[in-house]
Homo-oligomer: A and B are copies of this chain.
């Protein structure tokens, strides 16, 4: 069977296991390794308060070769001061020692509860143990994915294979998401591997662009976490000629990477905390792209719309209300709104539509809300998901 996990790209090994950070006893430490050394690109949260892991990973991502990423779930190691920072460095050091590389060549990522100190002895014992279980099997890749999950209800992976210079190049990704997700960027932790050979600046450019139209377009609850991290490692082992310019091969790779990231974003939206369905908001006819982005996000973030989608209710009044309230320029006489291809509001007035059909559209696993502001030609979009009672019960429980 084809490997559809994070180890699908040539040159990557992984492991994941339980080391006791999570009270539940579920897997909570993971290791991703490129034994030959990988070119790395990374994007981090823009929250002004970042986890110790983000501080350290930002620094280490500058290394010309990265050999590993050590990850823990169950504790965010954020708002943990100097002790937290020392712990994040120890995670790198322990992995580096096991792999006989320098600590700066190991990245680190954490996810879980903010403000608690990491049980560092458990974490480092877990990393050392994981280093002894590394494999490039699909099972090892799956174990990695299991160990990065928090309130995720299912593993989220995607793989793309494409031909570059007559060689099959593979891109693989896995993500954990669920809550505390708001542009930019919509993830907690995203790990991507590829065996393409590509220069560090171009790898960074491809990652930034892929995230811009995928992870940066999803909102679950409107806020970035302190820990958001996306890491892309390229082993260069596919055998394809190195990409060193923005040539057609680069564009092909970048397009496949973006496609894979969008796939992962859809998986995240549908597995957001309590979510049962997702929707895409497309705003057209805006005076500026910023207006389009703002209106799209206002609709995707609005609890009343999220509740209506949850109930399969084509409540376009709440959409128009959110658009009118969010501060963007609009032409009242031209303002229009469609649910998929069905007009519910056209040129400033309610459209006659089949209520049953509208309800069916909103009740789908995914539908598209298209809004025309009637003030220009700019466009942007955003992904959102419904708001359920389940979201509340997940997030109102003390220490889950």
Residues of chain A having any CB pair with chain B under 8 Å:
46-50, 76, 78-81, 113-115, 179-180, 182, 221-226, 298, 301-304, 307-308, 310-313, 316-318, 320-326, 330, 332, 335, 345, 348-350, 359, 387-389, 391-399
**CA–CA, A223 and B327, complex, Å:** 11
- Chain A: interface secondary structure? loop
| A398 and B317 contact, CB distance less than 8 A | no
Residues of B with C-beta under 8 A to A312? 398
Q: Are A308 and B396 in contact (CB under 8 A)?
A: yes
Q: Select A324's contact among B49, B359, B392, beta carbons within 8 Å.
A: B49
With A and B bound together, what is the CA distance between A396 and B225 in angstroms? 27
Question: Please, which residue of chain B has its CB at the minimum distance from the CB of A362?
Answer: B398
What are 15 A-B pairs with beta-carbon distances under 8 A? A46-B325, A49-B323, A50-B324, A80-B350, A81-B349, A81-B350, A114-B318, A179-B304, A303-B303, A307-B394, A307-B395, A311-B395, A311-B396, A313-B397, A389-B393
A2 to B204, CA, bound (A): 72
In contact, B391 and A222 (Cβ under 8 angstroms)? no
Verify B115–A224 contact, CB threshold 8 A.
Answer: no
Task: Check if A311 sits within 8 Å of B222, measured CB to CB.
Answer: no
A387 contact set on B, CB distance < 8 A = 303, 392, 396
Q: Which of A47, A224, A393 has the most CB of B within 10 A?
A: A47
